[in-house]
Amino acid sequence: MSAQGWLDRLRAATSARGRLCVGIDPHPALLEQWGLPSNADGLEKFAEICVEAFVGEIAVVKPQVAFFEAYGSPGYAVLERTISVLRDAGTLVIADAKRGDIGSTMSAYAQSWLGADSSLSSDAVTVSPYLGFDSLNETIALAEAGGRGVFVLARTSNPEGASLQQAITTGRTVGQSIVDAGAAVNSNGSATVGLVVGATRDHGLDLSGFTGPILAPGLGAQGASVEDLAQIFDGSLKLLLPNSSRGVLRAGPSVGALQDAARTLRDEIEAALP
């Protein structure tokens, strides 16, 4: 698979099924709301309902790894099956793992989520650059070689992130330094590096030189609206992936209702964005 494969797949998927990225977040409160037990059986049923609702309708699906990981090895087994079924059906999968480490440890994380032979292998993974952007070099190289993507946390949607991400270093914010480093990697045209930039506030970033995809969490439960997107991400809309998780998932457990909620939000986004 070529380095260009990730960008080609992303463009094809979003052109056919819109830019919405829906999260699969089996939060204990949602399991309870859906009438499911807070165990591996409930987790599996939750994931199966989501897969049935989103395949063929939504371009990009983002499982929140932590909510699977909480159940230990049975949870990971459910996550493996979920990723496999989604990808086999042509749905792009971003593993929301937010891994970040150095040296051989980060290389092992990269193999887990981006390696072709891993049972967790996804189209892209979220990573943290806060051990230094260069700590991601091997992960980015693996993604590029395999035609996959890496979404780097730049300006996250949680309020606690501001004190670090908006701190000034070498004449720019820490978040801006992440944007600029990602833009430099993508100068070869691969778009291997994407950014995570929250849609819930003025991010304060100059994205004009960044050509990769942007994963924008915060729609719905965190307060951002579809109408906000065009202004917040002006000039970065073609590869923008607005993300909603609980805002869509609260429509479950009916497959039909969940599918309708995802379709409605997808169509609202496409109507609002050029």
Higher confidence at residue 220 or residue 25? 25
Per the structure, the count of domains in the chain is: 1
What per-residue confidence (pLDDT) applies to 1?
37
Query: What percent of the chain is modeled with pLDDT above 90?
Result: 84
Name the average pLDDT for the chain.
94
Residues classed as catalytic: 98
**pLDDT of 189-245, one tens digit each?**
989 999 999 987 678 899 999 999 999 998 866 667 898 899 889 889 999 999 999
| CATH number for the domain that contains residue 31 | 3.20.20.70
Burial profile 56-69: b = 16 or more Cβ within 10 angstroms, e = fewer: ebbbbbbbbbebbe
Residue 179: pLDDT band with limits 50, 70, 90:
very high
Buried b (16+ CB within 10 A) or exposed e, 11-43: eebbeebbbbbbbbbbbeebbeebebeeebebb
203 versus 134: the higher-pLDDT residue is 134
Domain coverage including residue 248: 4-272
